[in-house]
Amino acid sequence: MTQTPMTQAPVLAQGQSATATTKPARPLLKVENLSVEFGPKASPIRVVNGVSFEVDAGGSVGIVGESGSGKSITSLAVMGLIPSPPGRIVEGRVEFEGTNLLEMQKARLPDIRGRDIAMIFQEPMSSLNPVMTIGDQIGEAIKLHEKMSREQRRERIVELLKLVGIPNPEGRLGAYPHQFSGGMRQRVMIAMAVACNPKLLIADEPTTALDVTIQAQVLELMHKIRRTLNTSILLISHDLGVIADVCERVVVMYAGRVVEEADVKSIFRNPSHPYTRGLLQSIPRLNDERSRLYQIPGSVPLAGTVKKGCPFFARCPDRIGRCAEEMPPMFAVSKSQRAACWVTAGANEGATAAVTAGVTAGGGVSEGATA
Amino acid sequence: MSTVIQPSSLSPDVDNTIAPEPGFRAAIMHMIFGRKSTVFALVVMLIFIVVAVLAPWISPYDPLAQSFLSINKPPSAAHWLGTDQFGRDVLSRMIHGSRNSLLFGLISPALAAIFGTALGVTAGYFGGAVDRVISRLIDLLLAFPELLLAIMIAAVLGGAFWNIIAVITVAFIPGFARVARASTLAVKQEPYVEAAVAVGLRTPTIIIRHIIPNIAAPIVVLMTLWVASAIRLEASLSFLGIGTRAPNPSWGNIIRDGLNNLFGSPWPIIAAGFAITCVVLSFNLFGDAVRDVLDPETAE
């Protein structure tokens, strides 16, 4: 609790009124001030700290950050999959179509999972049950959420396998996961996830374990899913290339906080947070003249060790005295971009006045700049 | 920006070479007839079961009939497996004894596997206080040697058939619970369990469809191994007068009696030992085959 001294109450109020007046269409998913703690209650470790973002219906948002920045935990929190104990969500709201999932009865969550929100996991090699045929595994979700006869279900599974590009789908229903390559397993995972036409698809590093050519195919598949099923996508990745390919908006996380949030073009053309700039510089290029690759000096602070000031302070090339003392709130940099950095805010004179800590992705940002 | 991945056309995957998988029924047929050892095991099991069922009709003599004139005879045309120290026909005693031994040897491990697995999976999956309570109870049972435990329970309940079954079952539960709990702890961490939660499956379905099939392999193997232990335990209980009571035969007490008369006639021990070995071996082979069906990955 001590790490969030910022003006939370007024910020929330402002964010709500803003969405109420200027943006009548409510976002599909709205995460507000989400904080997750792990460990004993007496000395908790905060791994996600006041994270807010939105995903519009049909939109695609990427969360990017190094390992340990809390992006996977954020996605698990949305699904209600934080292992508890030792983890717990200490504050915030996860609103899906206007319902706060965190206040929902535990027993009703399974109705939402798989049907409205589906998830693709990091490791396709181990995310499929080795003793079940893939037909059965895909069928499980359908059986659960939709009333269909056996034949209808079978047809639907074949259709899904066709959609994700598995050759000879009829012949593969009885195959076991170990007979598939990593890329094909990830396709099966995607087929499982979209089996009930979910409104939101959360993909947690869906391409990390795959080689580059397969990555491209899986990303193309996600585009196809979005086009054909009109599914919103929340993509978690540490790879800005992947994010750039799939997402319209980007949320940059660092040490459990959102440090920058913008549309994908602004992130690449005008990165405003020093951390984002560091990430972009770290991307190796084929036509690179440098003999050594760039790296951000130091490493992500251990969760819970930053007690005050900006979590990026120790590694920041642009730090000023204020950064060590006060956590910067989100400043609007432009109409569709915000960053939590005192230096950037200082450089952008006009933006300094418009302090808005509630991050909103998917278009809810403009109020901050114009206020 | 140069690393931004170019969307490529969604070409069919390269590894299209895998043969289409046959259905589940075909897999079972393949399991049974695919390996000679499994066929052999099934035939042996079948023979023993048929013999046990038909015991009164196929045994050449009354298993209890003693004969002073034919004590400790080696195998002959009249007595295929010889006679024991009371002149009883060993073959007839073996045939009748197979009923008791097979019943105890099969029912108890099967029941113990069911209850033990249920306890172990519950403890492993839910963890916390549930785990602590169940684990301590299991430890309590484990602290007693199986035989001592069996004697204590039998002494309280008496020596009726189902009591003996219950006794042996309780004695075997800790082993299954331990294995099931440990395996569940490992399987619970697997991403596919998390994926099952994410799909919206509820806990009982997850346990039955995703946990148990994945921990079945060690349990099935354990079950087949304990068929032998159950037959042996029943013999020990018989010796103490709470299992199959003399003079009624079971394989266990044929061995027990034969041991005292080893130099008089080794044939009862040889016959009963051979029978137990055959049954246990065939169950182990069968267990391996079952495991391969449950776990297709190791079967390749």
Q: Which residues pair with A94 in a beta bridge?
A: A31
Candidates A117, A204, A208, A217, partner chain B, best to mutate (most B CBs within 10 A):
A217
Angstrom distances, CA of residue B256 to CA of B84, B237, B240, B252, B272 = 12, 11, 11, 6, 10
Phi and psi at residue B258, in whole multiples of 5°? -65, -30
Chain A residues with CB-CB distance to B17 below 8 A: none
Q: Give me the phi and psi of A197, to 5 degrees please.
A: 50, 65
Q: Across the interface, which of B23, B200, B214 has its CB nearest the CB of A111?
A: B200
Give the one of B5, B20, B202 whose C-beta lies nearest to A171's C-beta.
B20
The structure's pTM equals 0.74
Report the SS3 class of residue A54.
strand
Say if CB A33 and CB A92 are below 8 A apart: yes
Contact residues, chain A, for B22 at CB < 8 Å: 174
pLDDT at B138: 92
Best of A127, A158, A285 to mutate (most B CBs within 10 Å, chain B): A127
Interface test mutation site (partner A, options B9, B192, B209, B211, max chain A beta carbons within 10 A): B192
Residues of the domain holding A25: 8-104+233-282+302-370
Helices and strands (H and E) in chain A: how many: 15, 12
The answer to whether the CB of A176 falls within 8 A of the CB of A133 is: yes
CA distance B85 to chain A (A): 54
Q: Is A259 helix (H, G, I), strand (E, B) or coil?
A: strand
CA of B31 vs chain A CAs: smallest distance (Å): 15
pLDDT given at position B133: 95
* CA nearest to A207 within chain B: B5
Distance from CA of B284 to the nearest CA of A (A): 21
Do B3 and A283 make contact, defined as CB atoms within 8 angstroms? yes
B contact test, residue of A144, A179, A219 with most B CBs within 10 A: A179
CA distance B112 to B177: 9
Tell whether A295 is covered by a domain: no
**Chain B contacts in chain A segment 93-132 (CB below 8 A):** 110-115, 118-119, 121-123, 126-132
Residue A329 · residue A286 · CB < 8 Å: no
Q: Place domain B81-299 in its CATH homologous superfamily.
A: MetI-like (1.10.3720.10)
Closest-approach residue (CA) in chain A for B20: A171
B26 HSE (CA, 13 A, CB side): 6
- Inter-chain touch B195–A119, beta carbons under 8 Å: yes
Phi/psi at B158 (nearest 5 deg)?
A: 95, 175
Nearest to B5 among A193, A219, A224 (CB): A219
Q: Spell out where chain A has E strands.
A: 29-38, 45-55, 60-64, 88-96, 99-100, 117-120, 200-204, 232-237, 249-254, 257-263, 331-334, 337-339
CA distance B292 to chain A (A): 10
* Nearest Cα residue to B140 out of B128, B131, B129, B149: B149
Q: Do A244 and B15 touch (CB under 8 A)?
A: no
Report CA Rg, chain A.
21
Flag residues of chain A having pLDDT under 50.
1-23, 350-371
| Helical (H) or strand (E) element with A277 | helix A274-281
| 8 Å CB contact of B196 and A168 | no
How far apart, in whole angstroms, are the C-alpha atoms of residue B114 and residue B169? 10
Tokens in use for A118? 């589906």
**Which residues contact residue A340 at a Cβ distance below 8 angstroms, ignoring those fewer than 6 apart?**
A257, A258, A259, A260, A273, A310, A327, A328, A329, A330, A331
Query: How many Å lie between the alpha carbon of B206 and the closest alpha carbon of chain A?
Result: 11
Residues of chain B with pLDDT below 50 are 1-21, 300
A181–B195 C-beta distance less than 8 A: no
Nearest CB neighbour to B22, from listed A126, A174, A224: A174
- Partners of A263 in the β-ladder: A249
- The pLDDT, as a whole number, for residue A371 is 33
Interface touch A126/B194, C-beta < 8 Å: no
Q: Which two tokens stand for residue A351?
A: 């933006």
Quick one: chain B helix, strand, coil %, rounded to 5?
70, 0, 30
* Interface contact B189, partner A, CB < 8 A: no
Q: What angle do helix axes B267-294 and B24-33 make, rounded to 10 degrees?
A: 150
Answer whether residue A224 is part of any domain. Answer: no
Gap between the Cα atoms of B13 and B143, Å rounded:
56
Residues B112-168: tens digit of each pLDDT: 999 999 999 999 999 889 999 999 999 998 888 878 877 887 778 777 788 888 888
Q: Decide if B16 and A167 are in contact by the 8 Å CB cutoff.
A: yes
A 228-287: CB under 8 A from B: 240-242, 244-245, 268, 283-287
Break chain B into its structural domains and give their ranges: 81-299
* Interchain contact, B210 vs A123, CB within 8 Å: no
Q: Which of A306, A228, A301, A371 is nearest to A69 (CA)?
A: A301
- Does residue B13 sit at the A interface (CB-CB below 8 Å)? yes
pLDDT score of B184: 94
pLDDT at B20: 46
The pLDDT of residue A63 is: 92
Q: How does A347-363 read in b/e, with b if 16+ C-beta sit within 10 Å?
A: ebeebeebbbbbbbbbb
Beta-bridge partners for B249: none
| A126 part of a folded domain | no
CB contact under 8 A, A81 and B7: no
Instruction: Quote the number of domains for chain A.
Output: 1
* Enclosing H/E stretch for B273: helix B267-294
Chain B residues touching A212 at Cβ < 8 A: 5
Domain with residue A247: its CATH number is 3.40.50.300
Do residues A161 and A189 make contact, with C-beta atoms less than 8 angstroms apart? no
Taking CB atoms and an 8 Å limit, are A145 and B200 in contact across chains? yes
Pairwise CA distance, residues B197 & A36, whole Å? 20
Instruction: With respect to residue A203, please indicate whether it lies within any of the assigned structural domains.
Output: no
